[in-house]
Amino acid sequence: MLVLIIGYFQVVAQSSISGTVTSAVNNEPLHGVSVAVKNSLVGTSADANGFYKLTLPETAKVLVFSFVGMITAEVEIGDNTTIDVTLQPDSLILEEVVVTAIGITREKKALGYSVQELSNHDITVVPNENLVNSLSGKVAGVHVTSTSGSPGASAYITIRGAASINGNNQPLFVVDGVPVNNYERWTGAAGVDMTNRITDINPGDIQSVSVLKGGAATALYGLRAVNGAIIITTKRGAKTDGNNVNVSLQSSLSFDRVSQLPELQTRYGQGLYGNWISGNFVSWGPRLDTCSYSKDPGDWIYPEYDVDGAIVSNNSEYATGDPINIYDHYNFFQTGISTNTTLSLSGGSDKATFYTSTSYTSTTGVVPNSNWKRFTVKVAGDANLSETFKILGSINYMKSGGDRMQKGVSWSGVMLGILRTPPTFDNAAGYEFPDGSQRNYRHGSGYDNPYWSVNKNLFKDDVNHMIGHIGFNWFVTNWMQVKYKLGGDFNNTHFKNYYAIGSNEQANGSVHVVSSNHRIINSDLIIQLNHRFNNHWETSFKLGHNMFESFGNSVSGRALGLELPGFYHLSNSSDITTSESSSQVRHAGMFGDLELSYNQMVYLSLTGRNDWSTTLPKDNNSFFYPSASIGWVFTGLNFLKDNKILPYGKLRFSLAQIANDPGPYQTFTGYYRPWIWDYYSWVGLNFPLLGETGFTLSNTLGNPELEPELTTSWEMGVDLKFLDNRLAVDFTYFNNYSDGLLLPVQLSGASGFYQVNMNAAGMSTKGIEAIIYGNPIRKTNWHWDFTFNFTRYKNMVEHIPDNMESLGLGWRDPWLVAKEGYPYQSFFGYDWYRDENGKILIDDDAESPGYGFPLGYDTEETIYLGKVNPDWTLGWTNNLIYRNLTLTFLLEFKKGGNMFNGTKGSLYYYGAHKDQESREPGDEVIFEGVKVSDGSTNDIKVVKGQNWYFNGQGSTNTGMGSPFIENAGWIRLREIALTYNIRESIFKDGWIKGLEFYIACKNLWLQTEYSGIDPETSLYGAYNAQGIDYYNNPGTKSYTLGFRASF
């Protein structure tokens, strides 16, 4: 077919045209203005004198002159051989073009919905290794939660809240028109912090990021549209003068420190009932300032563990009088160092452009031995094969991986090991004995010494990732254009996770190896027809066809129990289980998009897309999604035109129906290999078992009547620009209602199944977004502009099946749930017994061990304790420029939103938290409440010591989780950067074209009520179960130095 088309292109009669382009601002020539024949590929750019020359094809009718920041001019060629043009400045930035769905670029002015764009500068001014983190606070409606400060850690992103209860709530990521994989492996409450695949992309290669917030903006994506889309456009290169190549080199060096940690007590030692007990699991031992060491063999039974000596009371027979050493366990953390370098070359002529880059990022974390590295190579280019046919392509190879440390409930979790250690035990004094057994504060059992964990139990991953595309643009006529793009995202991930013999998580050692592949293939064919009826009406119609496939498979081997120590290999065990899995989804779609505009004032857009999906039942796998949007630039009305106060104002309204299809295989029930376990088993019985192969019927019943989850969304807003763009306001109200949400509807186990996936729930999100831009100072030497991005929304669960009280999203006690009538991701838990006035009942039975403490908590009912989503968020970006110095900072505010501080609830059991330094007579408190027997106000003094936290209900181990739900709102200085730009004038004709140096900080300042680690954290990673902190790896703040040079 290609041959056919190329054959068509014969040489046609040509004439030439030339001229000069100047700026109306200062009459200076404009270097680099794009001069192009409308609806063709013929074009060039003006040189340093503003001069251009073009050879015109016979069909050329109109020349288009465009330049960033200037208003585009279109001039009819007629018989002229010279056309000089003066361009007016676009101070209102009305011609801003944004990338919308399916790679279609449109003027922002013409859109009936809200879109926000970020430039390369916006996302790299303070470098982040994960580009999702670079979006935080900069786009209204977008909420980003970083999983932790671990190298390579993922980040969870939602746009306008969640539309699905159980399914994916993260937006579609599209890179140069190709939908890419942003998968992060699920590890549950244990495991390591994983990486979401978008992190493989080098942010330095990104030209711009366009955020489509859902509804009409993403309707053209059909089945993948509901959570919004992040459209990433990578650099392509541009025309250079003469034969030059533009070279750019950027490099930075960062130092990371732990940002915030829970406070630990240092007053009491290991043991129970005030007695020091070597190897005991908690810290309810003696007051250390009344103790000293004894090295008498009668006392000092375990010298290998208690290296300083046995801890005895000062008046004990063999006490040496030496004061007890208090160890700061946080000395475990180190300064993480990361480096980041990108080198790129680009250039081009009128007929072709190219861009190539390579980068290397290497990060070591604050936890010793944790690291993550990324290497990328990218080559992209496009070439005009003729005046009407352009081909384009790009290949981006990325390699990433690291060594990761355990977190959360894992008994090899670094935080769990550090925080539970009593203040008198020095983990750093040694973690391994000559015989290979472990030294920790529990005589080898319980939880791993964190030094053991980071040296012996590693998770190593290695990812090879490639994203690429090839395509063409063909101007068939000057009113019809055909675009085609075939793209793919391929990755192979290989990881090995091992535990040494003697580890508490796997006593006999283990190795788990997984190799998995994933590919996405996407094909988009678009036919675009443009027509201008007269001076007032313009229309454009696009017809599109899409084919999409996502395919993954993996093989894994797990060896339980290693024979030879230190050899972490599947051959080193007699107990090996292997498994395989695969998954495949295909979509096909047809879409149409009709745009109509009147007088550049009223814009109407209608779209419709029909999708077919393999994940839906065969006889019902086709669905249609329409949308409509309208924008009215009301300042185009005659009486408002050219007024100085409000030169630009637009009203917009849009309405759309979009969907989310189910995951694959949900219409199917079948048999699989069983795993036999009782309630307490970590391992249980695996098949093949003792020589037999077994199968068991799935506990999830397939549903042959599945439908996609459907969201009806409407949005209205207003864009206003005041006073020559000194102030701009963009305000949006949106309302999304999602129905037919897929839920595992629980059945009684006695039915033979636990659950069946049904379209059984509904959720809504309603909110506002406000973007306020101000530019108070705009002088030659001084410039100050700021942007506020404000988001406020309510994400409510409208209905779930009647037989379900709620759907659990994660954790138990408290439960993170979706429950009818409550916000999505609400916390529910138990409550103290209270009287009719809501006062806590206090046990006033003098015989009872709980005398003076709350009577107990009611396990029959649960109450609402809070929600994860904040009340509102605000990101305030500031740019201050004075001559060559630029100060940029981003201050983020998060109001409301709760987090479960499970770490603190657990530490209370262990007597390890700072709050528990007052545990003796003399530290009495009175619990607020009323006495059980007579309802009078409680006045019983009690000491909150072991009797409360360990034997009583004061911790999450012995009591409930509700008291540990905390307010996780914060104010933080997310980014601050000071850049010194060495102006071009110094380099004039030199080989350096530009150079800037900068210092930057991330998370420099954090103000929060939350008493644990940085509350921007997630135990379960980038999944719907947010808001849980249980020995999560801590967050970090960093200090960076860097430079950017262009040659």
Within residues 605-664, the interface with another protein by CB under 8 A covers 612-615, 618, 621, 664
- Report residue 215: phi and psi, to 5°: 65, -135
| Among the residue ranges 22-30, 631-639, 644-652, 670-678, the one whose residues contact another protein (CB under 8 A) | 670-678
**Residue whose token pair is 């990881």:** 495
Position 747 contacts another protein (CB under 8 A)? yes
| Among the residue ranges 95-103, 507-515, 935-943, 984-992, the one whose residues contact another protein (CB under 8 A) | 507-515
- Report residue 3: phi and psi, to 5°: -60, -45
Q: CA torsion sign, 171 to 174 to 179 to 182?
A: negative
Position 1 contacts another protein (CB under 8 A)? yes
Helices (H) and strands (E) in the chain, counts: 7, 58
Among 244, 290, 331, 751, interactor with another protein by CB under 8 A: 751
> From the CB of 980, what's the least distance to another protein, in Å?
54
Strand partners, 539: 531, 596
Position 3 contacts another protein (CB under 8 A)? no
How many residues touch another protein under the rule CB under 8 A: the total is: 88
Whole-number Å distance between alpha carbons of 804 and 801: 6
For another protein, what does the binding mask look like between residues 685 and 704, x meaning CB under 8 A? xxx-xx-xxxxxxxx-x---
Assigned token pair, 1006? 């954090």
CA distances to 454, 820, 828 from 805, in Å: 42, 8, 11
> From the CB of 667, what's the least distance to another protein, in Å?
6
Among 70, 104, 220, 756, interactor with another protein by CB under 8 A: 756
In the complex with another protein, the residue whose CB is nearer, 645 or 690, is: 690
What residues between 8 and 27 interact with another protein by CB under 8 A? 8
Q: Provide the strand spans (E) within 620-726.
A: 622-632, 648-660, 671-672, 675-676, 685-686, 696-697, 700-701, 709-722
For another protein, what does the binding mask look like between residues 48 and 67, x meaning CB under 8 A? --------------------
Among 519, 545, 839, 914, interactor with another protein by CB under 8 A: 545
In the complex with another protein, the residue whose CB is nearer, 369 or 958, is: 958
The separation between CA 125 and the C-alpha centre of its own chain, rounded to angstroms, equals 18
Triad 940, 944, 947: Cα angle to 5°: 100
Among 105, 803, 884, 937, interactor with another protein by CB under 8 A: 803
> From the CB of 343, what's the least distance to another protein, in Å?
40
> From the CB of 698, what's the least distance to another protein, in Å?
7
Among 547, 596, 718, 940, interactor with another protein by CB under 8 A: 547
Assigned token pair, 270? 């290991």
What residues between 1025 and 1044 interact with another protein by CB under 8 A? none
Among 51, 598, 665, 833, interactor with another protein by CB under 8 A: 665
Q: Provide the strand spans (E) within 136-199.
A: 142-146, 155-159, 172-175, 178-180
Position 599 contacts another protein (CB under 8 A)? no
Whole-number Å distance between alpha carbons of 973 and 103: 34
Whole-number Å distance between alpha carbons of 290 and 312: 9
Closest CA to 118 of 32, 203, 15: 203
Position 437 contacts another protein (CB under 8 A)? no
| Among the residue ranges 69-77, 124-132, 746-754, 818-826, the one whose residues contact another protein (CB under 8 A) | 746-754
Position 779 contacts another protein (CB under 8 A)? no
Return the CA Rg of the chain: 32
Among 30, 192, 458, 560, interactor with another protein by CB under 8 A: 560
**Residue whose token pair is 């009340």:** 871
Region class of 441: left (phi > 0), else alpha (psi between -120 and 50), else beta = alpha
> From the CB of 193, what's the least distance to another protein, in Å?
24
In the complex with another protein, the residue whose CB is nearer, 7 or 921, is: 7
Assigned token pair, 1034? 């801590």
In the complex with another protein, the residue whose CB is nearer, 105 or 681, is: 681
| Among the residue ranges 41-49, 63-71, 354-362, 671-679, the one whose residues contact another protein (CB under 8 A) | 671-679
- Report residue 856: phi and psi, to 5°: 160, -175
Among 313, 600, 667, 967, interactor with another protein by CB under 8 A: 667
Position 783 contacts another protein (CB under 8 A)? no
Position 527 contacts another protein (CB under 8 A)? yes
Whole-number Å distance between alpha carbons of 242 and 238: 12
What residues between 846 and 885 interact with another protein by CB under 8 A? 859
What residues between 104 and 143 interact with another protein by CB under 8 A? none
CA distances to 208, 213, 717 from 99, in Å: 9, 13, 19
Position 39 contacts another protein (CB under 8 A)? no
Position 515 contacts another protein (CB under 8 A)? no
What residues between 466 and 485 interact with another protein by CB under 8 A? 476-477, 480, 482
For another protein, what does the binding mask look like between residues 805 and 844, x meaning CB under 8 A? x------x--------------------------------
DSSP structure string for 1012-1037: SS-SS--TT-SSS--SEESSPPPPEE
Position 555 contacts another protein (CB under 8 A)? no
Tell me if 642 sits within 8 A of 92, measured CB to CB. Answer: no
Contacting residues for 1004 by C-beta, under 8 A, at least 6 apart: 973, 976, 1037
Position 680 contacts another protein (CB under 8 A)? yes
Question: Of how many residues is the chain composed?
Answer: 1047
